[in-house]
Amino acid sequence: MKILIYTHEYPPFLGGLATTSYKLATGLASRDDMEIFILAPSYGTGDKNFDKEFGDRILRVPLLKTKITKFIPFLLYLISSIFFYTSLKKIKPDIVLFITEEAEATGGIVSIFCEFTSIARVAGSGITTCFLGNKPFKKLLKYPIARLYKISKKIIAVSNYSKDLLLQIGINREKIIVINNGISEELISKSPESEKLTELKKMYSIKSDEKILLTIARILPRKGQDNVIKALKLVDKQFSNFKYLIVGTGRYENEFRDLARSLGLEDKVIFTGGVDHSEIIYLLDICDVFILANRIWNNKIEGLPNAVLEASARAKPVIVGNHSGSVESVIDGKTGLLVDSDDINKVSQSILNLFSDRHKSSKFGKEGKKMIEGRFTEEIMIDKYYSLFMSYKK
């Protein structure tokens, strides 16, 4: 069975959607009766390392991730439509799996001229920005996306929150299926490597007795690193023996660096830059608490944050924003804490709570790992996608 995975985020790009796109491609490709093709943006020379597995079955689209298409979005959809249409004619897939709102919009445009069988995977930000938001160009995109949803056999929601968003815009309940993101067996079961952890602490000048708070996410207000930094100013008054690692890149990095500096926390807040996903496990292993103080920003939300699930897989207690699909990544008071991420006092109290109570932190971590093993494994995710695709085998 030929499956074309069409996504606008794929490694070497760093982020949850890119990681999920890669997991789905490799996981489905491991099934004997699945032939997987990928259509994804080109990021330059870094593509080669991720293209070896699929060879000529991965097609990279140039110019999609450049300033030109950022400022001339119509050009992005012209280029992507040409490449998608060409891929359909060349591959003749049995099913196209769409990931990301840009891919969905392109699919809706091309469906006017060409028939194909489609399934869309929806996290939710495409709905909140294109259907429920107020930006003129984004509102235009709702028409091709709605067309794609209408012709799709099924729409996969990554969380119940994502499902509710789909229902809110009028999608038939029978068309929606919830399939959660899945965590790899390696992240769940691999033993910590003490030498690697010592090396990392030395790299970031972290003392052996310091508590480590960690966020892995793009540096954006939506991910809440700024509110964590503000909360740490309060934490520092009662518990000063800590470091906060911010892993990722983003256009707000300089602004958040300035914020840390203005609060006198420049020695405690460490910006690591982008880190390859294969190294994430070691950063999770050195942290004491993982935090994603996410909030709704620019009409974008969290469908189901991979980073939170990965932290739980490594038996780490988590602190997460109490809205959107994030609430489904933690059992409040059992695997971590849900907080109003705009309430700086509550965020600081949550951090202090887990820093000071080692027993609670350990218990949360163990329960989080059990939760992942029971509901959020990569094997469960791939099995569900596989079964869905096979149900449409001719």
pLDDT by 10s per residue, the chain, length 394: 999 999 999 999 988 899 999 999 999 999 999 999 999 999 988 888 889 989 999 999 998 888 888 888 899 999 999 999 999 999 999 999 999 999 999 999 999 999 999 999 999 999 999 999 998 989 999 999 999 999 999 999 999 999 999 999 999 999 999 999 999 999 999 999 999 999 999 999 999 999 999 999 999 999 999 999 999 999 999 999 999 999 999 999 999 999 999 999 999 999 999 998 889 999 999 999 999 999 999 888 999 999 999 999 999 999 999 989 999 999 999 999 999 999 999 999 999 999 999 999 999 999 999 999 999 999 999 999 999 999 998 7
Is 180:140 a contact under the CB 8 Å cutoff? no
| Peptide bond connecting 12 to the previous residue in cis, omega within 30 degrees of 0 | yes
pLDDT at 65: 81
CB environment 263-273: b (16+ within 10 A), e (fewer):
bebeebbbbbe
Is 241:208 a contact under the CB 8 Å cutoff? no
The yes-or-no answer to whether 2-182+377-390 and 185-375 have a common fold is yes
CATH value of 185-375 in 3.40.50.2000, 3.40.50.920, 3.40.50.300, 3.30.60.50: 3.40.50.2000
CA distances in angstroms from 143 to 83, 110, 118, 228, 264, listed in the order given: 20, 13, 16, 38, 48
What predicted TM-score, i.e. pTM, was given to this entire model? Answer: 0.94
Using a 10 angstrom Cβ sphere, with 0-12 exposed, 13-18 middle and 19 or more buried, the burial of residue 35 is middle
377 phi, psi to nearest 5 deg: -90, 155
Residue type, 32: D
pLDDT at 146: 97
pLDDT at 46: 81
User: What is the residue extent of each domain of the chain?
Assistant: 2-182+377-390, 185-375
Distance between CA atoms of residues 230 and 344, nearest Å:
7
Nearest residue to 298 via CA among 139, 127, 129: 129
Taking the CB of residue 151, how many other CB atoms lie within 10 A of it? 14
Helix or strand holding residue 137 (H, E)? helix 136-151
Show Cβ contacts of residue 56 under 8 Å, excluding neighbours closer than 6 positions: none
Strand ranges across the sheet with 242-247: 269-273, 242-247, 211-216, 289-292, 318-321, 336-339
Q: Which fold has domain 2-182+377-390?
A: Rossmann fold (3.40.50)
pLDDT at 71: 84
Q: Is 235 helix (H, G, I), strand (E, B) or coil?
A: helix
Which residue matches tokens 């997991």?
A: 23
Nearest residue to 309 via CA among 125, 184, 163: 184
Distance between CA atoms of residues 345 and 342, nearest Å:
9
Cα maximum dimension of the chain:
65
Pairing state between β 318-321 and 242-247: unpaired
